[in-house]
Amino acid sequence: MSFRKLKKSWLEILLITPLLIYILGFTLAPVIYAVYMSFQDKFTLHFPTLVNYKYIFTHFQFKEAFFNTCFVAGVGITLELTIGLLVALILYRNFKGRGIFRAIMLLPLGVPTVVAATNMRYIFDTSGYLNSFLLKLGVVEHAVDWAGGGIKTLMTIVVADMWKVTPLVMLILLAGLETIPEQLYEAARIDGAGAWKRFKHITLPLLKPAITMALVIRGIDIFRIFDLPLILVGRHTRVLSTYAYFEYYDYANPYTSSAGATILMVMILLTIIAYLKMTGTKEVQY
């Protein structure tokens, strides 16, 4: 019997081995190597040393990149979730032309990120379409320099990211909405609950797993955001990913680059842990 059991698991081990080897060898190993490099001295290759971290902590561009990443992630995820939920709630209702609207809303999913960034450059260029629109409306008198730095530049990154990924958030939330049984709403209606009460006491709690999933998937990605800021604003306004890239690309310093990447990972980990601690893992059941 135990021989058969062993034979059974041998097959399973055989089937899963390629996947495990790949994950361990090609993801975990590089991650560990990068963390190792971040504690290595550039000249003497001495390990461990904090020299790379000391260097980037005194680097004003690092402080800027740190702040920018926090801003883009915080504002971005809030707006994406709010608008994604709003659109999902509208598309959840049955009405004529729902299929067409749904299909159009998913368009950005099919546009490569690099292309999305390109399109945003046409919009946010000094003589681009947003300025053209604002000037024609008379909202501003002179063309705004969107890439000039500060909050407005960060907002262009947020808008670009929102355009690209809000559809994905919407899709996840829509799938979550469809799992909520219709009878609950009917029962609440009979009990005299208004639209807001139904939303607050039925939709939101039952949507929590979908919201958590969207938050975790998107939350991780928005911290790591790389191609959009690189193409949209390049060197002038850096987030942590592009900071790490330019450390390697401009200064050929893989050690400080790794230190930047490691700090980004720690930030992501802390955020996820904080989120899970804050909301708890208990699920609502009706």
Partner 1 sequence: MVFKYFSILLLVFFTVLVILPVYLMVKVSLSPPEDIMVQRPGFLIRNVTFRHWKDVFKSGRLWQPLKKSIIVATTTALLALLISIPGAYVISHLSRTLRYSMILSLFFTRMFPEVGIALPIAVNFIKWGLFDTNLGLTMAHLIRVLPVTAWILIGTYRTIPSDLEDAAQVDGCGRLGVLKHVVLPLALPGISVALIFSWLMSWDEFTYALYLCLREKTMPLQVYYYISRGDWFLTASYATIITIPVIFVTYILQKYLRSGYLAGAVKG
Task: Rule CB under 8 A: choose which of 6, 22, 57, 140 binds partner 1.
Answer: 22
**Is residue 275 within the footprint of partner 1 (CB under 8 A)?**
no
Contact positions with partner 1 (CB under 8 A) in 130-159: 131-133, 135-136, 143
Among residues 6, 26, 189, 274, the one that binds partner 1 under rule CB under 8 A? 26
* Rounded alpha-carbon distances, angstroms, from residue 232 to 68, 264, 286: 14, 21, 47
Tokens 């049955």 belong to: 94
- Give the separation between CA 199 and CA 177, rounded to whole angstroms: 11
Q: In sequence order, which ranges of the chain are alpha helices (DSSP H)?
A: 2-23, 29-38, 51-58, 60-92, 98-105, 113-124, 129-137, 151-177, 182-190, 195-198, 204-223, 227-232, 240-251, 254-279
**Segment 42 to 81, residues that bind partner 1, using CB under 8 A:** none
| Touching partner 1, residues 172-191 (CB under 8 A) | 172, 174-175, 178-179
Q: How many CB atoms lie within 10 A of CB 249?
A: 12
Residue 21: CA count within 13 A, CB half-sphere: 6
Amino acid 237 reads: T
Determine the interface stretch with partner 1 among 49-57, 184-192, 200-208, 241-249 (rule: CB under 8 A). Answer: 241-249
The least distance separating partner 1 from the CB of residue 253, rounded to whole angstroms, comes to 11
- Least Cα distance to 80 among 150, 146, 160 occurs for 160
Q: Does 240 bind partner 1 (CB under 8 A)?
A: yes
When asked if residue 15 is in the footprint of partner 1 (CB under 8 A), the reply is yes
Smaller CB separation from partner 1, 75 or 166: 166
* Number of residues binding to partner 1, judged by CB under 8 A: 89
* Closer Cβ to partner 1, 62 or 163, answer by number: 163
The CA distance from 241 to 239, in Å, is: 6
Give dist(CA 23, CA 80) in Å, integer: 30
Q: Give, as one character, the DSSP assignment of residue 226.
A: -
CB of 191 to partner 1, least distance (A): 21
Please report, as residue ranges, which positions from 188 to 217 form the binding site for partner 1 (by CB under 8 A). Answer: 195, 209, 213, 216
Residue 230: CB minimum distance to partner 1, A: 8
Q: How far apart are the first and last CA of the chain?
A: 43
- Of the residues 6, 140, 269, 276, which one makes contact with partner 1 according to CB under 8 A: 269
Q: Which stretch binds partner 1 (CB under 8 A): 146-154, 180-188, 196-204, 239-247?
A: 239-247
Contacting partner 1 within 82-101 (CB under 8 A): 83, 86-87, 90-91, 93, 95, 101
Considering only residues 104 to 133 of the shown chain, the ones binding partner 1 according to CB under 8 A are 104-123, 127-129, 131-133
Euclidean distance between CA atoms 41 and 52, whole angstroms: 7
Instruction: Find the helix or strand (DSSP H, E) in which 120 lies.
Output: helix 113-124
